[in-house]
Amino acid sequence: MASFPIYGVFQGDFVPHLVAVDTDDDMAQVAQAVAVHSVSRRIAPKDHRPFEVVVAGETVPLDCKFGEVVAEKALDPLDFVIVRYAS
């Protein structure tokens, strides 16, 4: 359980956000932490459309723990994470 700073950007938004997420958060929580800064502000909400997270060019399952992704992808603090609506 550790705080980990990332830059998160919602696909289609031009503003990245500095977001502190916990290594025990699942990727759905990470997606929500990033999306809250863009959806309904500069990105139109899409009812009942789930989010997905792209890390190092690959979509990550939402049930994965962020700490596992950090270890697997060798993420450094302040690396970029992209959140978008699932297709």
Instruction: Give the residue-averaged pLDDT of 28-54.
Output: 96
Tell me how far apart the alpha carbons of residues 50 and 24 are, in angstroms, rounded to a whole number.
20
Tell me how far apart the alpha carbons of residues 75 and 65 are, in angstroms, rounded to a whole number.
13
Tell me how far apart the alpha carbons of residues 8 and 30 are, in angstroms, rounded to a whole number.
9
pLDDT grade for 4, boundaries at 50, 70 and 90: very high
The answer to whether 81 and 30 have CB atoms below 8 angstroms apart is yes
Order of strands, edge to edge, in the sheet holding 51-55? 17-22, 3-10, 80-85, 51-55, 58-60
* pLDDT 10s digits, 49-81: 999 999 999 999 999 999 999 999 999 999 999
Question: What domains does the chain contain, in order, with CATH numbers?
Answer: 3-85 (3.10.20.270)
pLDDT at 48: 86
pTM: 0.93
